[in-house]
Amino acid sequence: MMDLLEGAPIQLQAWFLGLLRSFGTPEWILAVLSALIIIGTIIGVFLVLFALTSVLERKILARAQNRYGPNRVGPFGLFQPVADGIKMITKEDLVPRTADKVVHFLAPVVMLIPALLVLAILPYGRGMVPAEMDSGILFFFAVGAGTEVAVFMAGWASNNKYSVLGAMRAIAQMISYELPLVISAIITAMVAGSLSPSAIVAAQGGFAFGFVPQWFVLTPWGFTAGLVFYIAALAEANRSPFDLPEGESELVAGHLTEYSGFKYATFFMAEYIGMFAICGMFVTLFLGGWQAPVPALTIIPSWCWFLGKICFVAFTMVWVRATLPRLRIDHMLAFAWKFLLPMGFAAFLSAACWHYAGRGPAAWILSLAIIGIPYLLLGNSFTNRFAVSRRTYQFSE
Amino acid sequence: MNFPGSGIVKGLAVTARNMVGSYFEKDRLTTEQYPEERPKLPENSRSFPFLIYDGQDPESGMRCVACKICEKECPPQCIFIIQDRDAAGKPIKRPKVFDIDISVCMCCQICVEVCPFESIRMDQEYELSSFDRFAPLLLDKARLLKSNAYYHSIHPTEAAETDAQLEVERKKKEAAASAKAAKSDKPTEAAA
C-alpha cells in the first residue's frame, strides 16, 4: 500500500502517457505532455499551498496574539482565499499616469518567473526531481537573484518616491543577505561533494546507531549554517522581521505602493511561492530532504515527508513573524555583514575541520569550538553595541 | 553576560505559549464575536430616547401628557409633538403625534432631565442602521413606546429610583385627595 503511494505520482503520469500512446498519439506530443503534467502538478500544489498559507498564516498570527483570526468564510474561515481572490480580481487595476507602463506591467511577471523556475530543481521525493541538474544549487541561487531585478523594476516604474525608496532598501537587503545565504549553502555542497540537490539529500541518508538521522542540521557546523541560511532566507523572502522593503509605517508599501488588483496579488503569489521554494531549499540542504526522521517512519511516502517539512519550516517563519518586530535598516545591514557573514565563514571552517578530523567525537568538539568562540564574541559585541541605554537629557529637568 | 540570542528564544516561547494556550484556555481570547456574542453594555450606557408606558397597553398606559417641554428644550430640535383632541375638539393630555428624528438627535439626555412625568428615557438599542436616510430614522410613537418592564431590564437602578419617586408622588397625591375629600366631607356633615 505504502509502496504504491510512494511511486504514485510517477506511476500516474506513466499510466496517463501510456493511455495516450495506445491511442496513437505522436511521440513528440507525449514528450511535451509529460513535461506539462509535471509543471502543472508542481504549480498546482504550490498555488494550493499559497492559498492555504494565506489563511493559516493569519490564523496562526491571530492565535499568537490571543485572537480568533479569519473565521467567517466557510468552515473555520478556510474559504477566505477564495473571497480574497475574488476581491483582488474584481478590483480596479490602477496605473499611475506618469508610470513607465511597460515596466510597470512586466514587474509582477518578472517577479513570478524566477519563483516558479527555481521549483524545478527541488527533489520532491525519491527519484522525483523535475529537472535533474548537476549544478542545481547554483541554478537555484542564480535564478532566484532575478527577483531583485523585478523588485527594482516595480519601484522604478511606479515613479513614486516611496516605491523607489522601498525598492532601494529591498536591493540593499537582498544583496547583503545573498552572501550568507550562498555561503551557508556552499558548506553543504562542500561536505556532500556535489552541487546537485539529489546528491546532497543522498549524503544525509541513513541513520547513525540505527535511529539518529544524519541530517546536516544535527551537526554543529550544519546547525550554524542552517541557522544562517534560515535567517538569510527570511530576508530573501522579504519576511518579517526583515520586511522593511514594504514597511508600511515608513514607506506606505514600498515597491508595492502603486500596485493594485491582480498585479498586487501576483506580487504576493510570487513572494509566497518564493518563500516555499527557499523553504524547500532549506529542507533539501539541512533537513535531509525527503528522508524520514526515524527508520520506522520510512513507510510514509518520501514526497509526503518533503511537503510536511516545507510546511513545518513555513510555520516556523510565521512563528518568527509573530514574535519579532521589524528591524531598522542600519541594524539589519550591520547584522548581515558583521554577524551572519562571519558566522557563515566560521561554519565553513568548522565543516572543513569536521570533515578532515574524521567526523568522529573529536571532530565534533573541534567544530563546536570553532563555531562557539566566534559566536559568543560576535554575539556579545553585537548585543552591547545595540544595547538600549536609559535616555538622558542634557538640558531639560 | 547573557548568552547571545537568548532573548529571541524567550520571545518565541511566549508566542508559542499563546498559540497553544488560546486553544485550551478560553479566557485568553478577549474577542467578542459580535453578531453571535452580544456585548454586555454598562448600565448607564445610552443611545436614543424612548417613551415609557405603564401596564400592558401602550396607548392607555402612556405617561406622556403632551406638555411639549422636551420639544422646546431639545437643543437640535429633533422632537415633534402634536397634542391629541377629543371628539369635541378639546385638547386632551395625550400626544397624537410624537416623533423623534434620531438622525438629528445627539443623545444629550436633556429631554429626560426636563420631563416632569418621567415618561421619556434613554434607550440602549444601537442597531439602528437602515438603507434609507429618512423614514427609518424618524421614530414615530409606535416605535418609541416601550414598556416600563423594558426600562427595568435596561436601566434597573435608575428605573427603581423612578418608580419609587412616582410612588411617593402618587401617595402624596392620594393623601392630598383624601385630605381634600375629608375637608369637603366635613361641611356636608356639618350641614347635615
Mean pLDDT of chain A: 85
CB A349 within 8 A of CB A375: no
Task: Give the whole-angstrom CA distance, residue A35 versus residue A13.
Answer: 10
Q: Are residues A212 and A322 in the same domain?
A: yes
Q: Are residues A142 and A164 in the same domain?
A: yes
The answer to whether the CB atoms of A323 and B33 lie below 8 A apart is no
Using one digit for the tens of pLDDT, what is the confidence trace for A34-78? 888 888 888 898 889 888 888 899 988 988 888 888 888 878 888
Q: Which residue, among A67, A223, A331, A335, would best test binding to B if mutated, counting the most B CBs under 10 Å from its CB?
A: A67
Determine the pLDDT at residue A395: 77
Q: Are residues A128 and A70 in the same domain?
A: no
Kindly identify which residue of chain A lies nearest to residue B11, measuring between CA atoms: A323
Number of domains within chain A: 2
Q: Which residues contact A255 (CB under 8 A, 6 or more apart)?
A: A151, A152, A154, A155, A158, A163, A166, A167, A170, A245, A246
Using one digit for the tens of pLDDT, what is the confidence trace for A75-122? 888 888 888 889 888 888 888 888 888 888 888 999 889 888 888 888
Q: Is the dihedral of CA B95, B101, B104, B109 positive or negative?
A: positive
DSSP state of B96: E
Residue A397 C-alpha, separation from nearest chain B C-alpha, in angstroms: 33
Domain that holds residue A199: 94-326
Instruction: Say whether residue A61 is in contact with chain B using an 8 A CB cutoff.
Output: no
Q: Are residues A58 and A176 in the same domain?
A: no
Does A294 map to a domain? yes
Using one digit for the tens of pLDDT, what is the confidence trace for B60-118? 888 888 888 999 999 999 999 999 888 888 888 889 999 999 999 999 999 999 998 88
Does A373 map to a domain? no
Does A387 map to a domain? no
Q: Are residues A77 and A58 in the same domain?
A: yes
Q: Are residues A155 and A84 in the same domain?
A: no
Q: Are residues A62 and A112 in the same domain?
A: no
The residue from A35, A68, A90 where one domain ends is A90
Is residue B52 predicted with pLDDT exceeding 60?
yes
Q: Are residues A67 and A104 in the same domain?
A: no
How distant, in Å, are the alpha carbons of A320, B65, B90, B117 from that of B171? 72, 20, 29, 15
The answer to whether the CB atoms of A66 and B18 lie below 8 A apart is yes
Determine the pLDDT at residue A1: 59
Is residue A257 predicted with pLDDT exceeding 60?
yes
Which residues of chain B have a CB within 8 Å of the CB of A68? 29, 31, 33
The residue from A300, A326, A352 where one domain ends is A326
Q: Are residues A60 and A128 in the same domain?
A: no
DSSP state of B62: B
Which residues of chain A have a CB within 8 Å of the CB of B27? none
Which residues of chain B have a CB within 8 Å of the CB of A69? none
Alpha-carbon torsion, ordered A232, A233, A234, A239, to 10 deg: 130
Which residues of chain A have a CB within 8 Å of the CB of B24? none
Which residues of chain B have a CB within 8 Å of the CB of A71? 33
Q: Which residue, among A61, A66, A67, A327, would best test binding to B if mutated, counting the most B CBs under 10 Å from its CB?
A: A66
Q: Are residues A320 and A228 in the same domain?
A: yes
The answer to whether the CB atoms of B19 and A380 lie below 8 A apart is no
Q: What is the CB neighbour count within 10 angstroms for residue B184?
A: 9
Does A1 map to a domain? yes
Average of per-residue pLDDT across A280-290: 89
Does A361 map to a domain? no
Give, rounded to a whole angstrom, the gap between the first and last alpha carbons of chain B.
Answer: 111
Type of residue at B169: E
Q: Are residues A58 and A159 in the same domain?
A: no
Does A383 map to a domain? no
Using one digit for the tens of pLDDT, what is the confidence trace for A364-384? 888 888 888 888 888 888 777
Q: pTM for the complete prediction? A: 0.79
Instruction: Say whether residue A60 is in contact with chain B using an 8 A CB cutoff.
Output: yes
CB B48 within 8 A of CB B125: yes
ipTM of the complex: 0.77
Q: Are residues A83 and A127 in the same domain?
A: no
Half-sphere exposure of A218 (CA within 13 A, CB side): 13
The residue from A90, A113, A130 where one domain ends is A90
Tell me the CATH number for domain B49-150. Answer: 3.30.70.3270
* Window B:26-55, CB contacts with A under 8 Å: 28-31, 33
